[in-house]
Amino acid sequence: MTATPGASPTIVLVGHGMVGQRFLEALAERGLTATHRVVVLCEEPRPAYDRVQLTSYFSGKTPEDLSMTDLAFIEDHGIELHIGDPAETVDREARRVTARSGLTVDYDVLVLATGSYPFVPPVPNKDAEGCFVYRTIEDLLAIEEYAKKATTGAVVGGGLLGLEAAGALKGLGLTSHIVEFAPRLMPVQVDEGGGAALLRTIEDMGLSVHTGVGTQEIVVGEDGAVTGMKLSDGSELATDLVVFSAGVRPRDQLARDCGLTVGERGGIAVDEQCRTVADPHVFAIGECALAADGRVYGLVAPGYEQAETAAATIAADEASFTGADLSTKLKLLGVDVASFGDAHGATEDCLDVVYSDSRAGLYKKLVIGRDGTLLGGILVGDAEAYGTLKAFTGSVPPVAPESLVLPAGAGAPAQLGPAALPDDAIICSCNNVRKGTIRGAVTEHNCTTVPEVKKCTKAGTTCGSCVKVLGQLITAELEASGVEVDKGLCGCFSQTREELYEIVLALRITSYQDLLDRHGREAARGGDGCEVCKPTVGSIIASLAPAIGASNYVLDGEQAALQDTNDHFLANLQKNGSYSVVPRIPGGEIAPEKLIVIGEIARDFGLYTKITGGQRIDMFGARVEQLPLIWARLVDAGFESGHAYGKSLRTVKSCVGQTWCRYGVQDSVRMAIDLELRYRGLRSPHKLKSAVSGCQRECAEAQSKDFGVIATASGWNLYVGGNGGATPRHADLLAQDLSDAELIRLIDRFLMFYIRTADRLERTSVWLDRIPGGLDHVRDVVVHDSLGICDELEALMAAHVSHYRDEWAETINDPEKLARFVSFVNAPDTPDPVVAFVPERDQIKPDLPLLNIGLRPADDILEGSVTR
């Protein structure tokens, strides 16, 4: 493809989304940006951003965080980027594109990456005030603004974006509904069993789901704004905000207008090189393209592959796009959902292997051929094995299928690790990076860290779900090559956290600087340390404080400099710069007088109050200078710190037990209070949660906690290693029918053994799966004292209990410690102007400014800011 003699050939890219940006990177990698003029016409008012992570805007990410465009890359490669100026016409005969601004560009190659647009069902009043789509950052900003005056929101569509939109509405404080025409949620990705597990989990989050019904009409009031929805079953749903998320359609109007061939159901028809079938000078990539196999691919990974194919073809390299794997791994509202291969068992003569736990919201199904070939599968609630399973699809796995779906602790044999995968296994599905490519990055390009491999291969740079596997593969490859792998905590210490714990305990080291100077790497000695080791060592010293003769007050002397923001102010920092106040309420039991104190404080300081699932009352919106004033009143009323800000025990949840419940067999409230008061303030590698249930009905959900207790007629059963968070894990039974004294003794041992041997920021659930020997080894150590250390573990816990002091009670009585509680160190009487609130449901919520990344100079920042 040649241009006018004497002029550089011109490539025009219409659209600058994720796929468009990948196309530009592919051009640069092949040197085409140096030999061609590259012009980009972008419709949105901002350059490419991560649409896959769009919903994370509502959990605190800014538009800048979502940006995928390095403006230095654009400038360095001489790319002409026109923001907010879409192409309006294409003259294929003259090879000229005209933009909305009137700009005209003659092209040698035209690449259409116009993406897709949301499908809005043709229902009456679909364009009424209060109706939105969910596709761009601008859509999210509009929804966020309108939600300020709404109370209820409904989402039309129960697919990926629909569920994310519903979660976003709930996060904005709206009562949220999902309306899905199909009989289950995510009907394309999951089957009936997977849909049922997903439904239970989502309903448990407080969202209302309506499946098997369609939207007949949007009901509006006299002012033309949404007031409700009429559904196909005759019912009516009251709502004042509607989000349409019923699928997308290819944006192919520009192609239609200039006479390019489009498919019967949309999409710009292209061949295997991504050239349009009607014009060899025009390419189409991403969601606007109808591939040669007759599909329009709505996933980012195929779009990236098409971008690479188009760039290679323009560079006269051999490349083709013949189709893509539709396997997907998603995280919806914090729930893992994955499907791969023949997920619905369409293959004849196949068998299913199913594991289902409705209580935990887990559903795992593998489709197996008669000869043992893994054909596909569905994972809901736990997709940890997705990478391994997907890699073995189409082959006979080297282990029994049930071992690939049973969770840890359910009797499954050891599962396959990434090292067992073949080299052609795709590790990063977003960027189509295979295991062999990652191995090559280590062996041929001398990459030794995850960031180096990410830069070399692009693996892990989109959704990030494969980063853990990348680390495991890098370590395995280095070890296989005879390279000694540095397992040190960080660049300052060659020891692991466990080894540092032993050093601090044995040598009674009470200072981070002393530890660094005596045992740090030579290059780090005499330095200041780093953000990894400082809080880690601070936590170790705090855990061992009574035993080694250190202060167990985390803000004493050098310890204060080791803490992160939350511990630094003994409160949790919130998204608008304010802090939360969380007093301890052991067992959830509280006298009326104390309830009144909390109410009066919240009223007097204008705080947002919320009763949490952990049986506490959280108060939000306190400015940093108000924290001592609030805590002075709480301490005076008998409250103490709930340690919601620390890597320590949070709560011990309980049911009402035999005192009130007709099913209870033990006093669960008393036991929960005893445990919470015993382990309060215990610093550990990660947060600790616990619960006590008064009978086998398990109302306190003890089996989802780091250590959980369930009453029996003969005493107590102790469960350990549970996790109810993003990666749910049922706790394992450690011992049963224990007396009160036996129970407390085993918990003492278990917690101190965990603190002694866990890695930094490692929950008990992850630790239990990682530690050699797993549960059996832990049981041998803490129950049978196989290592002969139980007396020491008990003594360490006894020292902690006897030396416990409430951090806030000490803080409010020390003028020197109170001096840190100011918004600005050089203007202590000045409140932070960013901390602002607006009313909502008779309380407050943060008033956050809408952020726009725009293309503005770096010096367009407010001057004269006060230093925090």
Asked whether 124 and 217 are in contact (CB, 8 A), the reply is yes
3-class DSSP state of 626: helix
Q: Where are the beta strands (DSSP E) in 582-676?
A: 608-611, 617-622, 649-654
User: In which element (H, E) is residue 470 found?
Assistant: helix 467-480
Annotated binding-site residue? 661? yes
Categorise residue 7: left if φ over 0, alpha if ψ from -120 to 50, beta otherwise.
beta
Asked whether 267 and 246 are in contact (CB, 8 A), the reply is no
* Nearest CA among 167, 210, 191 for reference residue 380: 191
* Nearest CA among 795, 720, 716 for reference residue 754: 720
3-class DSSP state of 400: coil
Cross-strand pairs, 106: 96
3-class DSSP state of 793: helix
Distance CA 36, CA 69 (A): 20
SS3 letters across 529-577: CCCCHHHHHHHHHHHHHHHHCCCCCCCCCHHHHHCCHHHHHCCEECCCC
Alpha-helical regions (H) of 90-210: 137-147, 160-171, 192-204
Asked whether 270 and 277 are in contact (CB, 8 A), the reply is yes
**Measured in whole angstroms, how far is the alpha carbon of residue 151 from the centre of its chain?**
26
CB within 8 Å of 606: residues ≥ 6 apart: 621, 837, 844
Annotated binding-site residue? 695? yes
Q: Give residue 14's identity as a one-letter amino acid code.
A: V
467 phi/psi in degrees, rounded to 5: -60, -40
Token couple for 829 = 């009487």
**Residue found under tokens 């994955």:** 338
Distance CA 843, CA 840 (A): 5
Distance CA 34, CA 630 (A): 62
Annotated binding-site residue? 42? no
**Binding site as annotated, residues for siroheme:** 699
**Binding site as annotated, residues for [4Fe-4S] cluster:** 655, 661, 695, 699
**Binding site as annotated, residues:** 655, 661, 695, 699
